[in-house]
């Protein structure tokens, strides 16, 4: 977790960004919290597809992860916006305790920078946990495996493939492991003209993908995710991937793997996808391992939870993140953005201090070195300067279109729907205008 950079926005939709969580090839992830905007509940839901929150839970304590597309991709990669949209669809489609819930998203194709918000899971990644605290024993290993089976069941049940399951995309939260990052998720039944991945192109993380995905990521099926599950479990036991560079036809190096773990892993980590077990068989293998060690799934989950707590690697949030009320100036910025249906706010509106540029890790699979959580510090907000008026008698700070003659007077302001609702209605009218059945 790192401070916001000077180029990062401070407000995105109805969320206040608090810190950077990390960056990858497709997007940047931020820790954020919901901004309370009294009297705009319906407009927020309409403009940002916002789910209803528990009224008894304070907005300030509801932390989320806001993921935004990398700005460099919007111009240099024509398919980036569509791929990011499909990631939103994937997160929305999967309902499971092993996958973060989607909270809100911006689906307006004209948005300057698409984003979505999902539940924040407080915990270290599996990669960080193993590298910093050591490899797993039978109980934590089996608990991890059973959680990943549940996650993949939910993903496959939504007719999706993940295609990038790896230790860096597994967070060990207070309620168990959770699978993140659907940036490479894809519909299993996909028409070739709709597919964004080209035939013969490998996508994913080479250390944890199977050989068939390295050769052709477009046509992989569920066994590819099963292989990634096995490779992730292999890492939990050894601290390394099955192969040092790319998957091979030969068997992995089994040094350091105790005999009790070999029967299941040897079935999963094979080159031929048709020979890998289904998820039910993987679950049976993990439960057999627990039974032979005189453990239950519940005891194994408790062992994993205790191990994570003892490691002390869960990011510590500054007290002010949860205790301080949202700055009224930030609330006003968010309110104007919602009412104008312009989620992207000028990042330079507020001055920032203590935000020296931090170089991200070169390898996207290797998390940046851990650092103490540091909340962004605001200086006194700079009053908004009105835009230069257009030539003419008008003194409004907004640019106006040339007046048009109307046959009937405009309704009173109190009778007009809010701006956000008007914008949503306009988008719906535009979308339905092109449908042939209307």
CA dihedral sign, ordered 390, 394, 395, 397 = negative
Kind plus residue range of the DSSP H or E element containing 187? strand 186-187
Q: In whole angstroms, what is the distance from residue 294 CA to residue 314 CA?
A: 29
Give the whole-angstrom CA distance, residue 362 versus residue 113.
24
Tokens of 157: 């049940």
CB neighbours of residue 227 within 10 Å: 26
Whole-angstrom Cα distance, residue 121 to residue 180?
10
Structure tokens at 74: 């919007």
Residues 6+ apart with CB under 8 A from 227: 209, 210, 247, 268, 269, 273, 276
Torsion sign across C-alpha atoms 123, 126, 128, 134: positive
Query: Rounded CA gap, 1 and 42, in Å?
Result: 33
164 is a catalytic site residue: yes
How far out from the chain centre does Cα 314 lie?
18
Cross-strand pairs, 352 = 378
DSSP 223-242: HHHHHHHHHHHHHHHHSS-S
Instruction: Report the C-alpha gap between 378 and 352 in whole angstroms.
Output: 6
Within 10 angstroms of residue 393's Cβ, the number of other Cβ atoms is 6
The total of other beta-carbon atoms located within 10 Å of residue 434's CB is 7
Q: Is 231 exposed, middle or buried (0-12, 13-18, 19+ CB in 10 A)?
A: buried
Neighbours of 351 (CB within 10 A): 13
Tokens found for residue 343: 């989620």
99 three-class SS: coil
**Residues 149 and 287 sit within 8 Å (Cβ to Cβ):** no
For the residues of 124-153, what is the DSSP string, one character each? -BHHHHHHHH----HHHHHHHHHHHHHHHH
Q: In this structure, are residues 167 and 235 in contact, taking their beta carbons and an 8 Å threshold?
A: yes
**Of 150, 164, 225, 341, catalytic:** 164
Enumerate the active-site residues: 164
């Amino acid at each position: 977790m790192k401070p916001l950079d000077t180029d990062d926005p401070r407000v995105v939709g109805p969320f206040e960004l608090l810190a950077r969580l990390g960056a990858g090839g497709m997007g940047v992830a931020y820790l954020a919290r919901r901004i309370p905007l009294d009297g705009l509940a319906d407009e927020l839901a309409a403009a940002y597809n916002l789910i209803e929150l528990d009224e008894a839970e304070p907005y300030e304590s509801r932390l989320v992860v806001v993921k935004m597309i990398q700005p460099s991709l919007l111009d240099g990669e024509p398919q980036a916006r569509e791929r990011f949209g499909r990631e939103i669809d994937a997160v929305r489609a999967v309902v499971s305790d092993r996958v973060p819930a989607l909270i809100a998203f911006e689906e307006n194709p004209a948005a300057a920078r698409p984003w979505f918000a999902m539940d924040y899971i407080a915990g270290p990644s599996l990669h960080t946990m193993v590298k910093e605290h050591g490899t797993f024993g039978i109980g934590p290993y089996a608990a991890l495996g059973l959680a990943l089976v549940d996650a993949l069941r939910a993903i496959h049940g939504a007719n999706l493939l993940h295609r990038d399951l790896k230790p860096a995309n597994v967070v060990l939260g207070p309620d168990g492991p959770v699978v993140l990052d659907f940036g490479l998720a894809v519909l299993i039944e996909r028409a070739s003209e709709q597919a964004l991945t080209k035939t013969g192109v490998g996508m994913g993380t080479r250390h944890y993908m199977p050989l068939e995905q390295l050769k052709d990521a477009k046509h992989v099926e569920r066994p590819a995710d099963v292989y990634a599950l096995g490779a992730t479990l292999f890492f939990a036991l050894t601290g390394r991937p099955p192969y040092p560079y790319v998957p091979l036809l030969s068997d992995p190096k089994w040094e350091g793997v105790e005999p009790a773990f070999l029967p299941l892993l040897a079935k999963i980590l094979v080159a031929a996808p048709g020979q890998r077990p289904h998820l039910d068989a993987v679950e049976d293998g993990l439960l057999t391992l627990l039974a032979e060690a005189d453990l239950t799934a519940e005891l194994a989950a408790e062992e994993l939870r205790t191990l994570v707590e003892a490691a002390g690697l869960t990011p510590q949030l500054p007290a002010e993140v949860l205790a301080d009320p949202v700055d009224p100036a930030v609330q006003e910025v968010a309110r104007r953005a919602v009412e104008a249906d312009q989620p992207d706010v000028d990042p330079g509106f507020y001055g920032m201090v203590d935000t020296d540029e931090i170089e991200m890790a070169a390898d996207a699979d290797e998390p940046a070195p851990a650092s103490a959580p540091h909340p962004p510090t605001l200086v006194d907000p700079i009053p908004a300067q009105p835009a230069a008026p257009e030539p003419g008698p008008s003194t409004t700070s907004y640019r106006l279109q040339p007046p048009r003659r109307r046959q009937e007077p405009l309704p009173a302001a109190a009778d007009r729907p809010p701006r956000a609702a008007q914008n949503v209605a306009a988008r719906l009218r535009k979308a339905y205008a092109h449908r042939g059945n209307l």
